[in-house]
Amino acid sequence: MEETLKIIVLVKHVPDAQFDRHLTGAANTVDRSESILSELDEYALEAALQLSEARGGEAAGNKVIALSMGPAGAVNAVKKSLQIGASEGVHLSDEALAGSDAAATSLALAAAIRHLGADAPADLILTGMASTDGETSLVPAQLAERLGLPQVTFAASLELDAGKLTARRDGDTHADTIEADLPAVVSVTDQINDPRYPNFKGIMAAKKKTITTLSLADIGVDAAQVGKSGSWTAVETAEVRPPRTAGTIITDEGDAGIQLVEFLAAQKLL
């Protein structure tokens, strides 16, 4: 049996992608009023739970810590993670964080991860393949760079053994086997597992679990290093893209394939 694991899973509270989403305010930030735990982060949490459970779970001393950075509402992403099975939750929240770009976000998260590793460093930092709102996929790599750790992104499988990880990555032209020393930052795809749903037992158990709230002062970050002032990029303008409108719709009466080609020819697409 190997030693126990301490895994930090980054979870984000994002606007539900099933509905229309909006930018708001002078800085054109995302409207977070109708938000949920990012669907893609559930795969990271499931991967963490499976690794922990394979080593005897929480009872054997393994820890899965769900960490979310965001305004007050983001605590709901942490609560949901605890219901699904994370052993403890951490909410990094500070007014000065609003409007942080990927660079400022990675700075704050790196400081929070160091803070959480003060007694014993985390073995693994797990994330989803992207946030479903920002969609830049920058934070895992920036975080790895700031922490001086190897990164393995888009893992479609993940195994840990003797201080080393092995992952599979499926590219367009090839599939790679990757190895890295722990600790490492790993992002997982939606192909890696089938995330579990919280059950009644999990929901009841979550009520007894601890959620720690951290401020910037707690993690030793100055307000000027984050938010708009700490960001290295600024959104200058934002416009709603005019919605697409329906064009010609025909019902096939035996020659629709030919009409389709005529349409393509008229559009000079052949």
Q: What is the footprint of other proteins within residues 62-101 (CB under 8 A)? A: 101
**Residue 41: CB minimum distance to other proteins, A:** 12
As a whole number of angstroms, the distance between CA 266 and CA 257 comes to 14
Q: How many CB atoms lie within 10 A of CB 93?
A: 18
Instruction: Give residue 47's Cα distance to chain centre.
Output: 13
The window from 86-94, 199-207, 210-218, 252-260 that contacts other proteins (CB under 8 A) reads: 252-260
Among candidate residues 15, 9, 104, 100, the one with its CA nearest the CA of residue 52: 9
Residues 170-199 that bind other proteins (CB under 8 A): 170-181, 184, 190-191
Query: Is the Cβ of residue 1 or residue 258 nearer to other proteins in the bound state?
Result: 258
- Shortest Cβ distance from residue 260 to other proteins (Å)? 5
Pick 224 or 249: Cβ nearer other proteins: 249
Residue pair 46/194 in contact (Cβ under 8 Å)? The answer is: yes
Residue list 111-140, contact with other proteins (CB under 8 A): 129, 132-133, 135-140
Furthest C-alpha separation in the chain: 72
Name the 3-class secondary structure at 222. Answer: coil
DSSP 81-128: HHHHT-SEEEEE--GGGTT--HHHHHHHHHHHHHHHTSSS--SEEEEE
Cβ distance to other proteins smaller for residue 118 or 270: 270
- Write each residue from 211 to 250 as x if it is in contact with other proteins (CB under 8 A), else as -, in one continuous string: --------------------xxxxxxxxxxx--xxxxxxx
The nearer residue to other proteins, 64 or 167, going by C-beta atoms, is: 167
Which residues between 8 and 27 bind other proteins (CB under 8 A)?
17-23
CA distances from 165 to 134, 158, 179, 233, 264 (A): 28, 7, 6, 34, 50
Q: How far is the CB of 135 from other proteins (least distance, A)?
A: 7
Instruction: Give the integer Cα–Cα distance in Å for 153 and 240.
Output: 32
Contact 5, 48 (CB under 8 A): no
Q: Which of 28, 29, 34 minimizes the C-alpha distance to 14?
A: 34
Nearest Cα to 219, choosing from 91, 81, 113, 135? 113
Considering only 54, 60, 72, 265, the residue that binds other proteins (CB under 8 A) is 265
* Smaller CB separation from other proteins, 199 or 259: 259
Binding of residue 34 to other proteins (CB under 8 A): no
Cβ proximity to other proteins, 148 vs 210, nearer residue: 148
CB of 190 to other proteins, least distance (A): 5
Q: Please, which residue, 201 or 241, has the CB nearer to other proteins?
A: 241
User: Cα(first)–Cα(last) distance of the chain, in Å?
Assistant: 63
- We find the least distance from the C-beta atom of residue 17 to other proteins, in angstroms, to be 6
Q: Which stretch binds other proteins (CB under 8 A): 59-67, 149-157, 195-203, 214-222?
A: 149-157
Select from 151, 193, 216, 226 the one that contacts other proteins (CB under 8 A). Answer: 151
